[in-house]
């Protein structure tokens, strides 16, 4: 054993959370899982571990990605580490009745198989207390509509990586308008070739440039929606 090796169980809570931030940043999945288990043994609630240790650490990763300090491979490794921790916490969160902020149905649009960004958004939304129903890739409009009807979410999220597939988001929104259900949901869109102008042009409520923005936008729009008097 190297002299400078850090023994996680010997750190106090504050040091351990700081170390977990570092371990998330470095994409160390096993260390994150160990840290989560130590905090559970110390009596932390699953919700506190999720928000203070994991989401806190991932927020730093997200900020450094946005600022060009970290790149996609490092973000993926960090996300994979966070996923390890969330796998332990998820069943416990359900048992302990952690607060639910809202519900989101999310999926990559028809003709598009790219899901890295979408998966990051799903994970960060879950971390922020949203229930997420992930429809996966290559979703036709019918699949979105079926999920809206069966899941009754607050938010519909759509993702696309390709210039050629992003117009399909408008097909989905236009179909929602035709059926008179557009205003029942908050519609968020994201993906590398998108921009705010495109989001506005297709009738989405917001374009989210990254997972952190998606979480903040979702929180703010859900709060606004819940504050509105019911429509008559």
Partner 1 sequence: MIACGAIAREILAIQDASRLDHLDLQCLPAILHNTPDRIVPAVEAAVRAAAGRYASVFVAYADCGTGGLLKAACERLGVELIEGPHCYSFFEGNQTFAGRDEFTAFYLTDFLVRQFDAFVWRPLGLDRHPELRNLYFGHYETLVYQAQVDDPALTHKARDCAQRLGLGFERRFTGYGDLAAALREL
Q: Which residues bind partner 1 (CB under 8 A)?
A: 71-74, 76-77, 111-116, 137-138, 162-166, 192-195, 198
Contacts of 196 (CB under 8 A, 6+ apart): 207
CB of 105 to partner 1, least distance (A): 20
Closest CB to partner 1 among residues 202, 222: 202
To the nearest whole angstrom, how small is the minimum distance from the Cβ of residue 163 to partner 1?
5
Q: How far is the CB of 194 from partner 1 (least distance, A)?
A: 6
Q: Which is nearer to partner 1, 73 or 99 (CB)?
A: 73
Which one, 53 or 79, has the nearer CB to partner 1?
Answer: 79
List of E strands, the chain: 102-108, 130-134, 155-159, 186-190, 206-207
Which one, 33 or 151, has the nearer CB to partner 1? 33
Rounded to 5°, the CA angle 173-178-146 comes to 65
SS3 state at 117: helix
CB of 229 to partner 1, least distance (A): 37
Question: Which of 79, 55, 184, 224 is closest to 129 using CA atoms?
Answer: 55
Q: Quickly list DSSP for 56-97.
A: HHHHHHHHHHHTTSS-HHHHHHHHHHHHHHHHHHHHHHHHHT
């Amino acid at each position: 054993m190297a002299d400078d090796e850090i023994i996680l169980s010997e750190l106090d809570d504050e040091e351990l959370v700081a170390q977990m931030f570092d371990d998330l940043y470095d994409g160390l999945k096993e260390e994150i899982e160990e840290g989560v288990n130590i905090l559970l043994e110390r009596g932390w609630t699953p919700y506190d571990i999720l928000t203070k240790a994991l989401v806190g650490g991932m927020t730093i990763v997200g900020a450094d990605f946005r600022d060009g300090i970290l790149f996609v491979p490092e973000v993926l490794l960090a996300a994979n580490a966070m996923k390890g921790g969330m796998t332990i916490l998820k069943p416990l969160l359900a048992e302990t009745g952690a607060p639910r902020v809202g519900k989101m149905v999310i999926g990559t649009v028809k003709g598009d198989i790219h899901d890295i960004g979408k998966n990051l958004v799903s994970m960060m939304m879950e971390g922020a207390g949203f229930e997420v129903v992930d429809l996966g890739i290559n979703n036709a409009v019918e699949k979105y509509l079926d999920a809206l009807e069966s899941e009754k979410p607050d938010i519909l999220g759509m993702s696309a990586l390709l210039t050629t597939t992003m117009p399909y988001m408008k097909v989905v929104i236009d179909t929602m308008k035709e059926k008179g259900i557009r205003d029942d949901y908050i519609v968020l869109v994201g993906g590398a070739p998108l921009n705010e102008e495109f989001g506005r042009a297709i009738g989405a409520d917001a374009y989210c440039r990254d997972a952190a923005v998606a979480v903040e936008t979702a929180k703010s729009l859900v709060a606004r929606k819940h504050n509105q008097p019911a429509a008559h």
